[in-house]
Structure 1
Amino acid sequence: MSHVVVLGAGLGGTIMAFEMKEKLRREDQLTVVNLGTVYSFVPSNPWVAVGWRERENVTVDLSAVLAGRGIGFRPEGARRVHPKENRIELNGGSFLDYDYLIIATGPDLAFDEVPGLGPDGFTQSICQIDHAIAAKASFDALVQKPGPVVVGAIQGASCFGPAYEFAFILDTALRRARKRDQVPMTFVTPEPYIGHLGLDGVGDTKGLLESAMRERHINWITNARVTRVDAGKMFAEEVGDDGSLKTSHELPFAYSMMLPAFRGVPAVAGVEGLTNPRGFIAINKHQRNPAFPNVFAIGVCVAIPPVGKTPLPVGVPKTGLMIESMVTAVAANIGALLRGAEPNAVATWNAVCLADFGDEGIAFVAQPQIPPRNVNWSSRGKWVHAAKVGFERYFLHKVRQGKAETFYERLMLDVLGIRKLKDIHPEPAE
């Protein structure tokens, strides 16, 4: 008998548990470790932050779901991973031994790296459900007393899609409240250009997003390094292509939402051989840690080098389909090891993303996510908003049912009618 432990029950960890369960032998044991019992669908947080969703609409209590699948559950959360000893120290002081560990913790949010940033400072966040609920109260205050808005991401961020989404969703919500004309909006980002997304663009994301921002009267500052945030004012330095200071900005705001940089969670940060200096898990092409071969990792917590050189740090996002491909590879590889074989599954790392604007949106397909690519496609339309709503409903339904399915691939490429990759990039005629 072998004991497999999944550390983390977010988007990646939850589907990892479901898929890993199907690859185990009858005698094997599977346990999920998470801080708390609730799964929250993070892609819905921008909607929560403007009152389009409530907490109960986008959360699932995992206790009964995992028990129904015969999966153990430890909701204490992890204090520290001890890979040399093959065990996890849990909050509270107890230990959990494992034969194979799958790290799916997601990131630690580095608000402290910019003075005044984050929910404990002067800006809002949509990274967690509690943050989004707090942001809703501030949004209500903005509607009552309109003023300037600053939205964007901090240098070192690696998840730019939600920042763009929230800027456009906020625009839509303010227009519906008949207050948009009283709210100047500025988008602040370390990206070298609008639509870079940490991927050096996908298709014409630069043109599509710039056009959408002009149409919606959203100004922008790129190559922006935020140095501090005070009450009602953000300080940012705009740098040139060589990283030298170009100009400084003092941006007043009545409301601001800025995505922070990510780093590894404290439970793994600084473990020699396991993580890089930023605390992300080092992996090989089989999602396996080179120093500790019985440790695998998926999702936002894995270390991926940036795509090309940029004047300011810009990380690579780990999108849903990419994470799903990691999940499938890890399940197959551990399943092989349990049966005496060597791992040979490799994640595809393709990207399919829906960026919702509240009434329309932009979709893109990058195959693979990191260039050069075989498929490099993006499109804008009202259908993207409908697709995002359908995706939310489909994914939450599957989590509640505890089903192991290829959520993104099936939903985005089949169920919601997005064109097949072969139609986006057809094979040459014979």
Structure 2
Amino acid sequence: MAELVVLGAGLSGTLMAYELLPKLRKDQDRITVIGQGSRYHFVPSNPWVAIGWREKQDIEVDLDEVMRRKGIRYFAQGARRVFPNENRIELEDGSSVSYDYLVVATGPDLAFDEIPGLGPDGQTQSICHVDHAVKARQAFEQFTKSPGPIVVGAVQGASCFGPAYEFAFILDTELRKRGLRDRVPMTFVTSEPYIGHLGLDGVGDTKGLLESEMRDRHIKWITNARVTGVEPGKMSVEEVAEGGGAARNHEVPFGYSMMLPAFRGVAAVRGIEGLTNPRGFIIIDKKQRNPAFPNIFAVGVGVAIAPVTATPVPTGVPKTGFMIESMVTATAINIADLLRNAEPKAEATWNAVCLADFGDGGVAFIAQPEIPPRNVNWSAKGRWVHLAKVAFEKFFLRKIRLGDSEPFYERFVLEQLGIRKIKAG
């Protein structure tokens, strides 16, 4: 019997378990999933939670119940450390789980501590976790009683820029609904070299589309930004010149701020020689397999990917939903081959297919492949994106609750694009 362990129970971890299950050899293999807590939360809905458009319970799934129904062993106490030379994971309660094959699907550690005053324990809010979003909503409601400036963005080293744009525009939409927008100057602060870079050197005309959206909504911006510190009501920002030197220093006032942090690998794997890079992300080959420990695979945000281009301020590469799903599918096929004494052959497509909601509109983009040069490099905006994102949330949560193993992300998004094109025609 082979013990297959999935470390992580977020987007990539739950999909990984679901896709592996039907590929097991009957009565010979077992899947174990290790998560932190018993609840799955749909992270793309966190911006809606942060302004009260969703409640926490609206976007959660009881994983204990789903995993039990599917016959998957589930541990909710989290992992303390992976010991790859021993094929063992130590859990937070001191117990251990052994494996024959391990898939690391942990997502990232949020590096708020790298900038003084950053994060929900400091002076800025976060939408990276549902509990952060709940706290951000409480802070927003307090802010609306005495409105002032807002600062939203992503700091140096960030690799996920879409949610920052989403939240800035969603805030704008909500403030207009409340009749408060005229009392709230807004500034977008980002490490990107230009608006719409997204860690991808742009996709289609994301630069033009997002700059136009910023101007229409009267949101100022600072690019090539390095946040040096955050104090109550004030963010210190160094605007970096093309050559790397300081071009200008800003002290940006705020009454409310949400800044996305840099990511790094989680503590359970960080610093393991041969397994991770210096930031703690898992090193993989084209088969999603670690070269030093070939019985370890990795999927999702915790995977090491080199930046698309060198930028004056460091930016990472995002791992979008379809890209993650394609990693999961390839890994499931490759582990199934190994279980049957065959060589792994599947490779993920690493395409980016994304819907970014702006509350009353949005931007969609397709980058195939994600890393340029591309066969498809397309973007567009419209109210249909907001409607598609709402539909996607319902569709995906139903998939998680049912334990559906069928890959669907690209098909769903492209169907939405097809519907749009038919309507436009």
* TM bin (shorter chain): over 0.9
The CA deviation at 1:416 is: 6.4
Provide Cα deviations, 1:402-426, integer angstroms capped at 9, x if missing partner. 1112231221112664679xx9xxx
1:78 matched residue in structure 2: 79
Whether 1:24 and 2:29 are equivalent positions in the alignment is: no
Partner of 1:426: none
2:207 aligns with 206
Change (3 A) 1:418 1:110: farther
For residues 414 and 31 of structure 2, what CA distance do their matches in structure 1 show? Answer: 31
1:15 aligns with 2:21: no
Amino acid paired to 1:140: E
**1:179 and 1:49 mapped to 2: Cα distance?**
17
- Which stretches of structure 1, 4 residues or longer, exceed 3 Å deviation after superposition? 415-420
Q: Percent identity?
A: 69
- Maintained 8 Å contact 1:153/1:259: yes
Decide whether the 8 Å contact of 1:413 with 1:419 is kept in 2.
no
Go from structure 1 to structure 2 and tell me whether the alpha carbon gap of 1:415 and 1:403 turns closer, same or farther (over 3 Å shift): farther
Q: In 2, Cα distance between the equivalents of 1:405 and 1:354?
A: 20
Aligned length: 421
1:74-95: CA deviation from partner (whole Å, max 9, x where unpaired) = 1111000000000100111111
Shift of 1:379: 0.2
Letter in 1 for 2:23: K
What CA distance in whole angstroms lies between the structure 2 residues aligned with 1:224 and 1:22?
Answer: 47
Whole-angstrom distance in 1 between the partners of 2:79 and 2:307: 28
- Give me the whole-angstrom Cα distance separating, in 2, the residues matched to 1:318 and 1:53: 24
- Looking at structure 2, the residues matched to 417 and 46 of structure 1 have their Cα atoms a distance apart, in angstroms, of 26
Amino acid at match of 1:14: T
1:340 maps to 341
What amino acid maps onto 1:297 in structure 2?
A
Q: Greater CA deviation, 226-235 or 21-30?
A: 21-30
Trace 1:98-247 onto structure 2 (pairs within 5 A). 98-247=99-248
CA contact (8 A) 2:388 2:416 kept: no
- The CA distance in 1 between the partners of 2:192 and 2:273, in whole Å, is 31
Return the alpha-carbon distance in structure 2 between the equivalents of residues 349 and 131 of structure 1.
Answer: 29
Deviations 1:5-24 (A, max 9, x none): 00000011111100011111
Secondary structure in structure 1 of the residue aligned to 2:107: coil
Aligned residue in 1 for 2:272: 271
Q: Separation in 1 of the partners of 2:420 and 2:86?
A: 48
| Equivalent-residue separation in structure 1 for 2:275 and 2:233 (angstroms) | 40
Deviation at 1:3, TM superposition (A): 0.6
Report the equivalent of 2:47.
46
Q: Secondary structure of 1:164's partner?
A: helix
SS in 2 for 1:392: helix
Q: Give the AA of the match of 1:2.
A: A
**Given the alignment of the two structures, is residue 409 of structure 1 paired with residue 410 of structure 2, yes or no?**
yes
- Contact 1:149 / 1:183 at 8 angstroms: preserved in 2? yes
Does the 8 Å contact 2:168/2:188 carry over to 1? yes
Deviation at 1:346, TM superposition (A): 0.1
Structure 2 letter corresponding to 1:15: L
Distance 1:92 1:272 in 2: 25
Secondary structure of the structure 1 residue equivalent to 2:212 = helix
Decide whether the 8 Å contact of 1:31 with 1:73 is kept in 2: yes
TM-score by length of 2: 0.98
Q: Deviations 1:275-298 (Å, cap 9, x if unpaired)? A: 000000000000000000000000
Q: Secondary structure at the match of 2:322?
A: helix
- Tell me which residue corresponds to 1:427: none
> For each residue in 1:160-217, what CA deviation from the matched residue of structure 2 results, as whole angstroms up to 9, or x when unmatched?
0000000000000100010000000000001000000000000000000000000000
Does 2:326 align with 1:325?
yes
In the TM superposition, what whole-angstrom CA distance separates every residue of 1:383-419 from its partner, at most 9, and x where no partner exists? 0000000000000001000111223122111266467
Query: 1:291-320, CA deviations, whole angstroms, 9 ceiling, x for partnerless residues?
Result: 000000000000000001100100000000
Q: What residue number does 2:395 align with?
A: 394
Equivalent AA in structure 2 for residue 335 of structure 1: A
2:187 partner SS: strand
Secondary structure, counterpart of 2:311 in structure 1:
coil
1:99 corresponds to which letter in structure 2? D
Per-residue CA deviations over 1:310-343 (Å, capped at 9, x if unaligned) read 0010000000000000000000000000001000
In structure 2, what is the Cα distance between the partners aligned to 1:407 and 1:357?
23
Partner of 1:428: none
SS in 2 for 1:5: strand
Contact preservation (8 Å) 2:156, 2:227: yes
The answer on whether the counterparts of 1:351 and 1:366 sit within 8 Å (CA) in structure 2 is yes
For 1:360 and 1:63, the matched residues in 2 are separated by: 36
Preserved CA contact (<8 Å) 1:412 1:418: no
Distance in 2 between residues matched to 1:299 and 1:395, nearest whole Å:
17
1:143 alignment partner AA: T
CA distance in 1, matches of 2:183, 2:409: 38
| SS of equivalent residue, structure 1 residue 414 | helix
Assess if the C-alpha contact under 8 Å between 1:235 and 1:250 holds in 2: yes
Question: Partner residue of 2:309?
Answer: 308
Could you say which residue in structure 2 is the equivalent of 1:289? 290
Number of the residue aligned with 2:381: 380
What is the CA–CA distance in structure 2 between the aligned matches of 1:218 and 1:141, rounded to whole Å? 22
Q: Matches of 2:199 and 2:414 in 1, distance apart?
A: 23
Q: Secondary structure at the match of 1:88?
A: strand
